[in-house]
Amino acid sequence: MYKKTSLYDRHIAHEGKMVEFAGYEMPIQYSSIVKEHNMVREKCGLFDVSHMGELKIMGREFQEFGQYLVTNDISKMEVGDVRYSPMCYEDGGCVDDVLIYKDERCFLLVVNASNLSKDLEWINKNNKFDAEVINASPSTSQIAIQGPLAKQILSKVIKEDDIPQKYYTFKEILIKDNRMCLLSRTGYTGEDGFELYLANDLAPQIWDELLIAGGEDIIPCGLGARDTLRLEAGMPLYGHEISADISPIEAGLKRFVSLDKDEDFLGKEALKNQVDNGIYRRKCNIELLGKGIAREGDLVFIDDMRVGYLTSGTRSITLGKSIGVAMAKRPYNKLGTEIKVQIRNKMVDAIVVKGPFYKRNK
């Protein structure tokens, strides 16, 4: 009934607890979310992220089209660069957040699994350029290897020269019998790591080789750990920190909105208005001071006044505290603001803190 990635059999063999996610059967965990989370922070974890979407923007005006679609400035990207950007509606709300890979004759856009068909429709609808969009998702698998030992383990499977040195760069390499693989130094965990984009038939083999190469220093990790890791690292999740109703300005992502881009881009006017006239609510990081775990949807109060709600919340496994991201009415998003979070029928003390909650030692 649900779609399966090319690594489905591996998930079953590793005893993954399978759940439905974005129309796919994906592992939420194998052994334990806590164990998987800690492995990524301390050693290395392996993730199947094949459910993500890969869209190629190509044609004579692919650069102009790309620059029009996303809020960030991607005109000066060099081949081999990766950049993060929101992609907005005309009213400034977010269609998705994407990674853009610059190649010689195309941009590769990597999009959220749950937004793939919506993004494709949106991009096609707004194609007023001599360019075309190709959906490479069905034939593309993606594996993420993340953690301080990621490079060490990867270099047992991939030639040292083929490994991108700088974070947010990529290389197109040949593996196995001259098969193409896109290898980027990117990730969604806050650790050093890589993402490999490759043909479906190659993915299981590479998955196995990475696990063997890593031995006791690597374990497969599921979506549960993926979420706790990204939240600690301060990375937004579509449908939570950004959405059709939340603009990148409100989400604290203003640095990815290039209002001084010469070219027009979708949402430019609305976002400029938000920056010029001010926004009435803004994302902030919170930490509970009292007991409990704050979760998505929990309301934020100051005395009897409701001032916001949690877009994400969890028990931080690495920090041992309850953390969350909230959307709060200004000025209650300010650092140090003492707030209360309503957890079921209790009001729990909390405070607005600086992000990210976790930053790796470089």
Partner 1 sequence: MSTPKNLKYTKEHDWLEDLGNDTYKFGITDYAQNALGDIVYVELPDVEDEISAGDTVATVESVKAVSEIVMPFDCTIVEVNEELEDEPEKVNASCYESWIAIIKIDNLEETMTAEEYEKSL
* Footprint on this chain of partner 1 (rule: CB under 8 A): 17, 28-29, 32-35, 224, 228, 291-293, 295, 314-315, 317, 322, 344
Question: Shortest Cβ distance from residue 224 to partner 1 (Å)?
Answer: 6
Largest CA distance in the chain: 66
Question: Shortest Cβ distance from residue 176 to partner 1 (Å)?
Answer: 36
Report CA 230 to chain centroid distance, whole Å.
Answer: 7
Cβ distance to partner 1 smaller for residue 29 or 85: 29
Q: How many Å apart are CA 360 and CA 147, to the nearest integer?
A: 10
Residue reference for tokens 């590769």: 108
- Tell me, what amino acid is at 145? I
Question: Shortest Cβ distance from residue 77 to partner 1 (Å)?
Answer: 37
| Residue 145: half-sphere exposure toward Cβ, Cα within 13 Å | 29
For residues 281 and 302, the answer to whether their CB atoms sit within 8 Å is no
Question: Shortest Cβ distance from residue 188 to partner 1 (Å)?
Answer: 17
Residue reference for tokens 């969350």: 324
Question: Shortest Cβ distance from residue 32 to partner 1 (Å)?
Answer: 5
Q: How many Å apart are CA 148 and CA 166, to the nearest integer?
A: 15
Q: What are phi and psi of 165, to 5 degrees?
A: -80, -40
Integer angstrom CA distances of residue 276 from 249, 259, 271, 279: 11, 11, 9, 9
Question: Shortest Cβ distance from residue 221 to partner 1 (Å)?
Answer: 13
**Residue 143 tokens, joined:** 């594996």
